[in-house]
Amino acid sequence: MTSEVISISPGEREDKLVWQFTTNGIYTVKSRYHLSKELECDLEGETSVKAKEKQAWKTIWKLRVTAATKMFLWRACNEALPLLANMRRREVVEHSSCLVCKQEPETPGHVLWGCIAAKDVWGQGVMKVQKLSFQSDLIFDIWSRLIEILSSEELDEVAVTMRGIWSRRNNVIHGKEFKHPTPVHQHAKAELVSYREALTEDLEVKLTAPDAAVNSKEERIGIGVLIRDHHGLVIGGLRANRTLKGIPFDAEANGLLLAAAYKKIFDEESKLGDITGSGLGTTDEEVGVGTQNDIVTQSRLLGNEEYFRSCYLVNCP
């Protein structure tokens, strides 16, 4: 039965003892020392340490910031940013000095937190952050300290600011202007406010159609007129495309004038029993409204007519 559970070597080899905590299987005092330390950590609270690490990772995904900011912070905490210190370890570059201060190796903790240029940005942000003095080359260590001190809203601002500092660093690499700390901080705050407004449940976004279709380049406008009966049903319509140089207000005025003239023609044709020319395909040339210069004059003439005193015109954007 034992031979079915443990395979026995076909050769006539003697059994031997193997120490599983070394790569070669040979027992050493050093390996026993490290093993005892690990066991002590298990007894003294390694679970609480791991719990804190898990909490640090969870706070990243619970931030009220954009997905791009969360992913950036996750990469920074995992030491996955393309920094010179990381690339030098891989023998990609020869020098790893910070591109901004030229004083220390370009590590994640230095670029986003400890560099003089980064401190100038942090000096304009959260007051609690300004008073912090701890340093580390690892962003994860810094983030773990911050979550113990700052509120959730303050952590949101820190995350967005870190990404802004990183973007400024990349601009230097690509030969762009090195931004002053003030616009970097202001842009981070504006991005945070914009994102929070987008998440507001009570925010109502309504699509507002343009008041008038104006083609400024070709100096033309588009006008649409509908005539409804007392039930609200459409009984007539007009499409108009004409030359007009002006602002949308001029186009609206022209449209109201066109609607008034068209209503009169429509009613006259209806009384005669001939409404074939007043369908949805009618054009403004058939109505005969003048150009922009004639709008005021024609409006006064139409307003003096007894017919239009009983009409109700509405501009529907």
Q: How many CA atoms lie within 13 A of 284 on its CB side?
A: 21
Structure tokens belonging to residue 58: 């969870």
Specify the amino acid at residue 192: L
Q: What is the mean pLDDT of residues 261-275?
A: 66
pLDDT in tens, 173-214: 888 989 999 999 999 999 999 998 888 766 565 655 554 567
With helix as H, strand as E and coil as C, how does 245-302 read? Answer: CCCHHHHHHHHHHHHHHHHHHHHHHHHCCCCHHHCCCECHHHHCCCCHHHHHHHHHHH
In this prediction the pTM is 0.51
User: pLDDT tens, 229-266?
Assistant: 777 787 777 777 777 777 777 777 777 777 777 777 77
Judge whether residue 295 has pLDDT over 60: no
CA-only gyration radius of the chain, Å = 38
